Copies of this chain bind each other. A is one copy, B any other.
């Protein structure tokens, strides 16, 4: 997605050799005009699937999931929570996740009331790196017997293992920007196939 790549080049900041910060338009400040286009791009990519819900994980995935759901006739959005809270009283689906960027472990949690074997799910997330978060969300869907129809990623770090790992689960992944390398502080995108 050209508009997104241009924005990443303009405002993305490379930290070390593998972290890309996009907090000026997605991960802290959110540019809704850009997100509208992102939502349209995901709708175009997945317009053929029998979607019942969009699943993401707090916090940065939520705005992307919401703006994508608007394109799918306001279909429900479901977001996995991290950790346990005092008011998490229900039976829940749980998947352990290691956060690459934060360097810590947590659990992704979805109440059993919101996912069933009748659901056809599009998983949405901002980044795909090592793929831990998305793998956890797929695991949760499969615990519920729900069908994972696809995964929509805003920015794929193609130099990390996540993309192979998720595709090896038999799930179709559509990434709107694919980064080949962040070496020497420079952002290189993958060539178009």
Question: Which A residues are within 8 Å of any B CB, using their own CB?
Answer: 15, 19, 21, 23-24, 28-33, 35-36, 53, 58-59, 62-63, 66-67, 69-70, 74-79, 81, 85-87, 89, 101-103, 110-111, 113-114
B63 contacts A110, C-beta separation under 8 Å: no
Query: How many whole Å from A89's CB to the nearest CB in chain B?
Result: 6
Please indicate the chain B residues that have their CB under 8 angstroms from the CB of A53 in the complex.
Answer: 29
B86 contacts A102, C-beta separation under 8 Å: yes
A-B contact pairs, 9 of them (CB 8 A): A24-B113, A29-B77, A29-B114, A30-B77, A31-B76, A32-B75, A59-B81, A86-B102, A86-B103
Q: Is the interface of A mostly helix, strand, loop or mixed?
A: mixed
